[in-house]
Amino acid sequence: MQNVSLRPITVEDATSVQLYASDARLAATCNVPYPYPSNGGQVFVERCIHARESRQRFPHAILLDGQFVGVIGLNLPDFTNLTAEVDYWLAVPFWGQGIMTQAVGLVAGVAFKELGFCRLFSGCWSKNPASCRVLEKNGFTEISSIVNDGHFGQKFAGETIRRFTLSYDEWQRHMTTA
């Protein structure tokens, strides 16, 4: 197991976000823009801090041995139905080490135990099987496969998105069997 932890995004993360989010390989499978704007890191962290303060989103920095390596968010919170959407990206040098699998497990704990959500949703492009696998390894179940008509962003319009969900009960069962 890697030494992975989460914490809220801070202004100090702007330089790392700028560095890692500028990589075209990252933009190929997630909604990070490419080319990445020269002030993108600064704008991103400021928006994250505001979003957390106003409870519009709960973005976290992913840390490996205390160093920033990526972002994972609990987005689109629905405080009536107690649901949220999990989105994430990991800096390219850290792919394939089990880090996002751990980060998704940690953010599920935050969602269910700290924030009181009852169900999480997430989705990944069918051309991104590693991301789907990360969800499956955390107990998520696939619920649908949808052609993106633009609802999930114009960048990947026309591509297929696989939708997954995880309830609090499913998460607890997964934790006891994992």
Q: From the CB of 133, what's the least distance to ligand COA, in Å? A: 3
- Facing residues of 90 across strands? 70
Q: From the CB of 47, what's the least distance to ligand COA, in Å? A: 18
Q: Return the range that interacts with ligand COA (CB under 6 A); candidates 49-57, 129-137, 144-152, 168-176.
A: 129-137
Are 25 and 80 in contact by the 8 Å Cβ rule? The answer is no
33 makes contact with ligand COA (CB under 6 A): no
Taking the C-alpha atoms of 27, 11, 39 and 43 in order, what is their torsion angle to the nearest 10 degrees? 80
Neighbours of 148 (CB within 10 A): 17
Q: From the CB of 69, what's the least distance to ligand COA, in Å? A: 9
44 makes contact with ligand COA (CB under 6 A): no
Of 52 and 137, the one with the shorter C-beta distance to ligand COA is 137
129 makes contact with ligand COA (CB under 6 A): yes
- Facing residues of 68 across strands? 63
The closest alpha carbon to 31, from 94, 91, 95, 89, belongs to 89
Q: From the CB of 100, what's the least distance to ligand COA, in Å? A: 3
Cα distances (angstroms) measured from residue 124 to each of 70, 76, 133, 171: 17, 16, 10, 19
29 makes contact with ligand COA (CB under 6 A): yes
Neighbours of 91 (CB within 10 A): 22
98 makes contact with ligand COA (CB under 6 A): yes
| Residues that bind ligand COA in the complex, under the rule CB under 6 A | 26, 29-30, 88-90, 95-101, 124, 128-131, 133-134, 137
